[in-house]
Chain A
Amino acid sequence: MPNYKLVYFPGRGRAEVSRLIFKAAGVPFEDVRINTANGEWPGETKAKCPFGQMPVLFVDDKVLAQSKAIGRYLAREFNLAGKTNWDQARADMILDQFEDIGTEIYKFMFEKDAAKKAELSEKFNSETLPRHLGYLENLLKENNGGTGFFVGDSLTWADLALANAYDHLGGTDAPFANSPLLAGLIKRIRATPSVAEWISTRPQTPF
């Protein structure tokens, strides 16, 4: 088994899907958290990052950057990417959708003007997010009624990404009030023993 080291800030952010993949697969990894506060970042780490950014994944002495590339690599290594090229593409599509939702959140998250921030946040919560969740609910429903997984008939990283989005969206059931199938899948995934254990023991972080 290769030696895995995942390097990121002390938070869930863009590394958590990969951490969930390791945990769901039962594969050990070094969960390195680099702090900006005491100069650890950029420190010596930045120079090792192919694009000067984290997360990065070290597999033995080779390095990989870009959170989705990392996640997909791990998912494929651990058979959590989808069983066929088609299923893998469908999972990729769902991951890209979560990326799009994240992009919408960043639009107001980093907005400095308070009034503009409130306006963007309101638009996100009342219009953008429900629309995106609606699409995902439909997609899930199309997969044999939606009481299983997003893709095929087994866990993929698309399901883990949904379970992870729950935390990014506030960690409550509220955003999913009109998406019962998504809510059900989230509950099932977060209750999976390996995932549940990680959620309860991982460092509690604001992001």
Chain B
Amino acid sequence: MPTYKLIYFNARGYGELARLLFAVAGVPYEDIRVERASWPNEYKAICPFGQMPLLEVDGKILAQSSAIARYLAMEFGMAGKDNWEQARIDMVVDSFGDILQDMRVPYLETDPEKKEALVKQFVGESLPKRLGYLENILKENGGGQGFIVGDSLTWADLGVANSVDYLKLMCPNPFENFPLLAGLVQRVREIPQVAAWIAKRPETAT
């Protein structure tokens, strides 16, 4: 078994999907957490693009959160059973990237009036639009009571479940009107390894 190190801030953020993969796979790794106040530190020099998260596998480095998560999912057999399923998973995961892009501006806005308007637009329009598409994709997969792609747990399902934690920064119940997605989140969070990780991971704001 290779030696794994994940290096990120002491936050869920862009590192959490990798942590969930390690947890579900039951694979040990060093969960290195850097406090924001002490960044940049000695790790910055080894970051291919100057940013974390970083995955170190027997000393070899990988950057970019999606590339890291996909690599681990492939290694741990949670990436779909063929190239087509892998692509459909990538598609679902990338759509959350789009949601995060939409979320950036309202999240970072400091002027209270502007922020309120931007959050309202995100929560009322752009988020439900994107979640609606995902709800359909889930529904098209055998009715939506199982997984979002294929017939077993993949990192796409973990990505859906993980998204609730950051979407909650914008609204209290992001999947309120999307019962199939909400059901999937529930099922994923009840997986013993996931539940155990959520219970023991450090509590962080983001």
A179: min CB distance to chain B, Å: 15
Cβ-defined contact, B94 with A135, below 8 A: no
CA distance A135 to B48 in the complex (A): 6
Cβ-defined contact, A93 with B63, below 8 A: yes
Within 8 Å CB of A112, what residues of B? Answer: none
Within 8 Å CB of B57, what residues of A? Answer: 86
CA distance A77 to B171 in the complex (A): 40
| Interface residue? A45 (CB, 8 A) | no
Within 8 Å CB of B95, what residues of A? Answer: 51, 65-66
* Given A50-B133, A62-B84: A72 touches B90 (CB 8 Å cut-off): yes
| Interface residue? B67 (CB, 8 A) | yes
| Interface residue? B123 (CB, 8 A) | no
| Interface residue? A31 (CB, 8 A) | no
Within 8 Å CB of B133, what residues of A? Answer: 50-52
From B49, B60, B84, name the one whose CB has the most chain A CB atoms within 10 angstroms: B49
13 contacts between A and B (CB under 8 A): A50-B91, A65-B95, A68-B90, A69-B94, A72-B87, A73-B84, A86-B60, A93-B62, A93-B63, A135-B48, A135-B49, A138-B48, A139-B48
CA distance A66 to B64 in the complex (A): 17
Within 8 Å CB of B94, what residues of A? Answer: 66, 68-69
Q: Which residues of A contact B (CB under 8 A)?
A: 50-52, 59, 62, 64-66, 68-70, 72-73, 76-77, 85-86, 88-90, 92-93, 96-97, 100, 103, 131-132, 135, 138-139
Within 8 Å CB of B75, what residues of A? Answer: 85
Q: Which of B66-107 contact A (CB under 8 A)?
A: 66-68, 70-71, 74-75, 83-84, 86-88, 90-91, 94-95, 98, 101
Q: Which residues of B contact A (CB under 8 A)?
A: 48-50, 57, 60, 62-64, 66-68, 70-71, 74-75, 83-84, 86-88, 90-91, 94-95, 98, 101, 129-130, 133, 136-137
Cβ-defined contact, B67 with A89, below 8 A: yes
* Given A51-B95, A69-B94, A97-B49: A64 touches B64 (CB 8 Å cut-off): no
A131: min CB distance to chain B, Å: 7
With A69-B88, A73-B90 already in contact, 6 other A-B pairs whose C-beta atoms are closer than 8 Å: A64-B87, A69-B87, A89-B70, A92-B66, A92-B67, A97-B64
Within 8 Å CB of A77, what residues of B? Answer: 83
Cβ-defined contact, A66 with B48, below 8 A: no
Cβ-defined contact, B71 with A50, below 8 A: no
Within 8 Å CB of A69, what residues of B? Answer: 87-88, 90-91, 94
Q: Is the interface of A mostly helix, strand, loop or mixed?
A: helix
From A62, A70, A72, name the one whose CB has the most chain B CB atoms within 10 angstroms: A72
Within 8 Å CB of B66, what residues of A? Answer: 92, 96
CA distance A51 to B102 in the complex (A): 14
Cβ-defined contact, B91 with A59, below 8 A: no
Within 8 Å CB of B70, what residues of A? Answer: 89, 92
A49 (CB) vs chain B CBs: closest residue: B133
* Given A92-B70, A93-B64, A96-B64: A66 touches B49 (CB 8 Å cut-off): no
A91 (CB) vs chain B CBs: closest residue: B67
Cβ-defined contact, A103 with B62, below 8 A: no
CA distance A88 to B84 in the complex (A): 16
A69: min CB distance to chain B, Å: 4
B29: min CB distance to chain A, Å: 16
